[in-house]
Amino acid sequence: MTENAKFTATLIAALFAAWLLSGDRFLDLVFEMVDLGRLDDIVIEGAVILEDAKANLGLPDIFAALRGVLHWVLGV
């Protein structure tokens, strides 16, 4: 594996982990996207499966906690 491939793989894995530890929902993004016609059903179904899997893991929403702290520090 090249250094660049390692970089890309780690970046995606880290962003995926960040999503797991956040309350953000893929489903909301999917509904904001351009209408993909027949593909929409497949994408929505995939997003629902991912969301369910994430919910079943029961991981804490660390992102929201961090957000609360940072907003408190920033005074906003």
Partner 1 sequence: MVFPTLQFILFFALVLVLNGLVWSRGTWRKALLIAASYTFYAAWDVRFLALMAGVSAVAWIGGLVPSRAARIASVAALIATLALFKYFNFFALSLQQLLNATMFARDMQWISIILPVGVSFYIFQAVSYVIDAHRGHITPRRNPTDVFLYISFFPQLVAGPIVRAAHFLPQIDAPVVPDAAARALAAVLILMGLFKKMVVANYLSVLLVDPAFALPEGQNTITAIAATLGYAVQIYCDFSGYSDIAIGIALLLGYRFQRNFNQPYRAASLREFWQRWHISLSTWIRDYLYIPLGGNSGSVLRQTCTALLTMTLAGLWHGAGWNFLLWGFLHGAGLMAERVLRPRIRLPQAIATALVFGFVCLLWIPFRAADPAETVAMLGAVVSPTGFAPVDLSVTALVLIAIGIAVNWLPMRWLPATQSALARLPAPAQAGLLASGIWLMFAAAQDGVAPFIYFQF
Yes or no: say if 43 and 5 are a contact pair by the CB < 8 Å rule: no
C-alpha to C-alpha distance for 76 and 49, rounded to whole angstroms: 35
* Nearer Cβ to partner 1 (55/64): 64
Binding mask 17-46 for partner 1 (x = CB under 8 A): xxx----x----x--xxx------------
Cβ at position 15, least distance to partner 1 in Å: 5
Q: For residue 57, state whether it binds partner 1 (rule: CB under 8 A).
A: no
Residue 73 tokens read as: 């520090």
- Residue type for position 18: A
Q: For residue 7, state whether it binds partner 1 (rule: CB under 8 A).
A: yes
Cα-Cα-Cα-Cα dihedral of 27, 65, 54, 59, to 10°?
-170
Length of the chain: 76
Residues that bind partner 1 (CB under 8 A): 2-12, 14-15, 17-19, 24, 29, 32-34, 63, 66-67, 70-71, 74-76
